[in-house]
Structure formats: C-alpha cells, structure tokens
Structure 1
Amino acid sequence: MSGRMNGLNRILIVGSSGAGKSKLSSQLGELLNIRVIHLDSLFWLPNWTQRDLEEWQQLNREIVKGNQWIIDGYYPSTLEIRMQHADTIIYLNYPRRVCLYRAIKRRFEYRGVTRPDMGEGCPERLHVEFLQYIWKFPEKEKPLLEDKLNQVVGHIKVIELNSPKDAKVLLDNLTKQDV
C-alpha cells in the first residue's frame, strides 16, 4: 500500500510522552511504505544531551522537505515548522494514566539499553521530572497543542485518537483499504 493512494504523504504524530507516538509511526510507516522519522532520535545526543535550539530548528526545516514522511514527536519549540508541511496530523489524546503506564512499562522493557527510536547513547531511564511532565501534560501542554491544531483544521487533516483502541481501528481501516 502506498501513502499516496490514501492521501497520506506527510504525517505528523503528536501527543503526550508515553502515548505511543513512536510505535504508531512505525506501524504506519510499514503499512504505508513511508519513511519514519523519530524526533527523539534527532533531538537527544549521547548521554541525554539536548541538541542546540538553532541546530534543532534547522534540522526540522530539513526533515520536512521530503514528499513523504511520518514524523513522531511533539517538541513545541519546532512544532509549527512541521505543521506547515504536514498534510495529516494524528493527535494521540490519551488519558494520562495510559501515558504513565506506557512510559513505566517502556522503562522495564528497554532497561539499560537504547530504544530503537531514541538517540544513540541514551539508555532508557525514568526520572521523576519525566513522570511529572506526563502527569501535567493535560493542564500545561494539551491546551497549547489543541490551540495549534484548531488553527490548522480545514487546511490540514487532523485525526484525533482518544485511546489505543482508536489507533488499532485506524490501522485496521488502512489495512482494509483497496490499493
């Protein structure tokens, strides 16, 4: 199946940490045969060092130049760069308990190793600050994200998924589409 046949060519996946953006992007990439870009793997340098903001912004301007891509990650400092080039945004609007559970589960699944969607030299870890970020996401980040999404509705297709079951339905529906 080709992304072009579905009208899906430049897909941005956003939502809270722990929601499953990387997993969904990988599944979509395989299904649609589109290159997947995990922002975590680009933002984080070895030993959990953050990339310089100016370099990060330039890198974002480069990755959106292609005709087909799936980019997963929220990163509000560069979100507008990606939104300007997306034709579809998938918003994982999952309850915080789901995101917290998945983040904790991921910590044990990748204990002591670097996840495939993460920057080299960044073994999986779980800090209180990260858990607090997930917990506070609905109050602090979600209103900002939803405001940006509301601004592009009508120009960009926005798909809101409210549970992992919704994501499965989306994937199942794309699988069933005739090519």
Structure 2
Amino acid sequence: MAARLGVPWLELDSIFHMRGWTPRPREEFRAEVDRFTAADGWVVDGNYSGVRDLVWARADTVVYFDLPRHTVMRRLLARTLRRMATGAELWNGNKESFRFLLDKDESILRYAWTKHASFSEEYARAAADPANGHLRFVRVASRADFDRLVRAADKN
C-alpha cells in the first residue's frame, strides 16, 4: 500500500523485536514511532496498543483485516512453516522456530486463534467511538475487499 501511495512504510514488528526476540523498551519504541509518524504521509503496519495513540492521532485512515478465522489460521500456519523451513530472517537476526507453533505461551497460532474474535470487536468499537471521528476505518474481510482497496489506492 505504501508503495502505491508513494509514502514510507514502517512495520512495527521490525522495530519492536530486537535481537533474540527481546522487546524494545517502551519509551524507545514510542520514540521511534513518534519520529516516523511526524512525516506528512506514511503507512504503519502493525497493531501495538502501546503506540496506537501516537499512530491514530496522526492517521487519517485505519485499514484492518478481519478475515475469517479459518483463513487467518491457514495462512498463518503456512507462512510460519515456510519461514521455518527457509530459515528466513525476519527482523534484527530473529527467525521463527518451532517454539512459535508449540509453546503455549509463545505460540503465534494460539495467539491468533484466541484473539481473533476480540480483534474484530475491538476495531468495530473503535470505529464507532466519537474520539476516532477523524479516522476513516476500512474493514478488509475478503480478497474482493482487498482488491477494491488496492484499486482505490491506484486512483490516488
């Protein structure tokens, strides 16, 4: 989306997860996001409550994916297995491991499964909240929704 709009892009995971999956200290994380979002145009990719106030205060649009749980789980499992098989480096030397599939506290699959419904509800509440009246919320619930969003970005 950022490339289509001609603006810089920041993946929050890339600045939150330091070497060894160590979380960046909160104030450092917030300072990085604050600097990035001070520009006129940008895309931030991620959903971190610790910086949401900074991002949403300066944003004009929030795009959120609200895909069916079975779609999310199928894609997440395939992506995680592919990254593990290829040894792909994600951020700051970090790689996915079987821990992210099996460990009850670290499993990205368990997290996605248990949080799926709450994320949908959270964004619906945020979109209805008058405090977010300056934001346009775009819900992407299917491939067709995504294709429409990309076509709209191409027109701008």
Comparing 165-174 with 33-42, greater Cα deviation is found at 165-174
SS across alignment from 1:37? strand
Higher relative contact order (CA 8 A, sep 6+): 1
- Report the Cα distance in structure 2 between the residues aligned to 1:123 and 1:96, rounded to whole angstroms: 25
Q: Are positions 1:103 and 2:76 aligned together? A: yes
Equivalent in 2, 11, 19 of residue 46 of structure 1 = 19
Change (3 A) 1:58 1:149: farther
Alignment root-mean-square deviation, CA: 1.9
- Report the Cα distance in structure 2 between the residues aligned to 1:165 and 1:124, rounded to whole angstroms: 30
- Report the Cα distance in structure 2 between the residues aligned to 1:56 and 1:148, rounded to whole angstroms: 23
- Tell me what 2:150 maps to: 171
- Tell me what 2:135 maps to: 156
Aligned length: 147
- Tell me what 1:131 maps to: 109
Computing the radius of gyration from Cα coordinates, the structure with the larger value is 2
Comparing 148-157 with 96-105, greater Cα deviation is found at 148-157
TM score, norm. by length of structure 1: 0.73
CA displacement at 1:148 relative to structure 2: 2.5
Q: What per-residue deviation string (whole Å, max 9, x for no partner) do you get for residues 38-57 of structure 1? A: 00101000111111122222
- Report the Cα distance in structure 2 between the residues aligned to 1:140 and 1:170, rounded to whole angstroms: 24
- Report the Cα distance in structure 2 between the residues aligned to 1:43 and 1:71, rounded to whole angstroms: 13
Amino acid at match of 2:33: N
- Tell me what 1:5 maps to: none
CA displacement at 1:153 relative to structure 2: 5.0
- Tell me what 1:114 maps to: 89
Q: What per-residue deviation string (whole Å, max 9, x for no partner) do you get for residues 72-114 of structure 1? A: 0001122121110101111111112211111111123322121
CA displacement at 1:166 relative to structure 2: 1.2
Q: Are positions 1:60 and 2:58 aligned together? A: no
Amino acid at match of 1:96: R
Q: Percent identity?
A: 22
